[in-house]
Structure 1
Amino acid sequence: MSRYLLAGIKIAYEYTCELFGESYSEDKVAKILRNQLYQASIADKKDKECVDYKIIKQYASLPVKASIELKNSIKPILDTLQPKARHVIILHDSADHKMICEVFLCFMDFMSFTICVSEDAIKYLGDKGVRICVVLEDEQLIDM
């Protein structure tokens, strides 16, 4: 399970770094995620257990019911795009002001992740409260 969640963590971490740059790389959660990704890369070379699942499960999970509902609510809108949307990443503020990254690969529930990428969403999202990136079938990116 931890290896599977690492895929979601890697996507969420890299996307968040791309958006917020150096300021995000100093975030407490960013440091934890980066360390777990690094530990996994070392362990893979030594054929050892890749990460501490106790740490991973604090920040990463399979999508919860609210995440699936979010995906289902935006899918009809994204279906109108040409070329079609292939993947979607949504950064949003949670009720307790953590920044959550929802990763929906191919819109399949079993290939989706919910990752906490920061404990301070307001610092990064401000009043906007949400950032969306859509990857189209022809590899174009739409950032909203």
Structure 2
Amino acid sequence: MFMGEYQHTIDDKGRLTLPARFREGLGDSFVVTKGLDNCLFVYPMDEWKQLEQKLKALPFTKKEARAFVRFFFSGATECGFDKQGRILLPANLREYAGLEKDVVIIGVSTRVEIWSKVNWDKYSKDAEADYEEIAENIVDLDIQL
């Protein structure tokens, strides 16, 4: 399980060091793709394969399903760590997430998310303001907090 929030920087070549705890959970090979809310999603290979099966089950006759699957998979790339524990993020993914220098890496249960610090600060500030309301609304999902 991935959890926590970490501040890092991305270098001029697009290399980013992930926290050691996350490196262990991701393994030697993992997938980075365009996430929601203008961040990147990082999946261990076993989680990626499970997600891939679920997405394959979406009805291809539905325009929204086709659009989502195309966008999600077209942005996906298989990654690994270099000897310094860094990953190389392709330019198209850095551009999508607005990654320039300061980034925030967060653990979200089964995946890791990579955010630009600016986007994360805005998102977390907005979410924090609605935190209690969000918690009330997810009670309908039978989740006990």
Q: When the two structures are superposed, what TM-score results if normalisation uses the length of structure 2?
A: 0.31
Higher RCO, 1 vs 2 (CA within 8 Å, ≥6 residues apart) = 2
Q: When the two structures are superposed, what TM-score results if normalisation uses the length of structure 1?
A: 0.31
Between structures 1 and 2, the one with greater helix share: 1
Q: Which has the larger radius of gyration?
A: 2
